[in-house]
Structure 1
Amino acid sequence: MASVHLQSTSGFAQQIQARSHQLRADEPLSNGGTDSGPAPYELLLAGLAACTSLTLRMYADRKQWELGLIDVRLRFSRDEQGREKIDRTVAFGAQLSPEQITRLAEICEKTPVTKTIRQGTEIVTTLSQVRVEGQA
């Protein structure tokens, strides 16, 4: 359904290939990075924000609802006990009825990335040796 490819030779700056798109990730200066791209949690939030907006737009287009600008703001936090939370705020440029707002709130909870994050997804890790050309 989705895949990315990343290769890193040194430092925290990362080059990521997603289909034909090049992305960067890095840590901020305060964490020893060069701040050349978003940090991993920011990329996670970006995926959730994009999925939220795209899903709302698709739903509204099918219903022929005008949403105007969709503004999605996300904040990841962790409390003293280590519990993690994402706060999501969605605003629309168009005037919407209370019924539309209620339905759009329900749709936010059903976006694919929301479901993936909420349910927790199994991660299977395999380690291997990279073969370098010219090496026996």
Structure 2
Amino acid sequence: MSITIRRDGIHGTQHTLRIRGHRITVDVDDAAGGHDAGPTPHDLYDASLAACKALTVLVYARRKNIPVEDIEVVADRDASEERKGVYRLNTTLHVTGALSEEQRQELLRVAGKCPVHRLMTEVRTEIETRLV
């Protein structure tokens, strides 16, 4: 699967991200010289973790017949030491439903094992960029 991103026009910083049949506007914020017309690349990175945790918890709960009603994951970024090699994401998981404390702890454990969390913390990513 390929993901493409292309600049919208020749002025400004707005781009369109295409993933399968989906289109997402991507930009940088005013402080970085953009118009904040969409999420930044860092926003998308952080959002991928939150989305993965939410979906992983939901799929697991359904498979195990855990009565989850609503799920919300909040990801807060601390990029203050990013240039030093440390990028912190603090996530909170809010789950509603008639859950026991044991089930709540099980869902928290599962959230910590979502594929994107593991990708961000346990896998070495190799990136090759070519000019064509």
Relative to the length of structure 1, the TM-score reads 0.84
The 5-angstrom pairing of residues 93-132 of structure 1 reads: 93-129=96-132
Q: Once the 2 structures are TM-superposed, how far is the Cα of residue 128 of structure 1 from its aligned partner?
A: 2.3
The 5-angstrom pairing of residues 18-29 of structure 1 reads: 18-29=19-30
- Give me the whole-angstrom Cα distance separating, in 2, the residues matched to 1:48 and 1:60: 18
Q: Once the 2 structures are TM-superposed, how far is the Cα of residue 126 of structure 1 from its aligned partner?
A: 2.9
The percentage of aligned residue pairs carrying the same residue is: 28
> What residue number does 2:55 align with?
54
Q: Larger radius of gyration, structure 1 or 2?
A: 1
Note the aligned Cα RMSD (angstroms). 1.8
The residue type equivalent to 1:57 in the other structure is L
- Give me the whole-angstrom Cα distance separating, in 2, the residues matched to 1:118 and 1:61: 26
- Give me the whole-angstrom Cα distance separating, in 1, the residues matched to 2:14 and 2:123: 27
* Runs of 5+ consecutive residues of structure 1 not aligned to the other structure: 130-136
- Give me the whole-angstrom Cα distance separating, in 2, the residues matched to 1:25 and 1:12: 8
- 1:77–1:59: structure 2 CA closer, same or farther, 3 Å change rule? same
Q: 3-state SS of the aligned residue for 2:131? A: coil
- Give me the whole-angstrom Cα distance separating, in 2, the residues matched to 1:121 and 1:96: 36
Structure with more relative contact order (C-alpha pairs < 8 Å, separation 6 or more): 2
- Give me the whole-angstrom Cα distance separating, in 1, the residues matched to 2:126 and 2:22: 24
Relative to the length of structure 2, the TM-score reads 0.87
The partner residue of 2:91 within 85, 88, 93 is: 88
- Give me the whole-angstrom Cα distance separating, in 2, the residues matched to 1:109 and 1:79: 23
* Runs of 5+ consecutive residues of structure 2 not aligned to the other structure: none
- 1:5–1:121: structure 2 CA closer, same or farther, 3 Å change rule? farther
- Give me the whole-angstrom Cα distance separating, in 2, the residues matched to 1:91 and 1:72: 6
Report the number of matched residues.
128
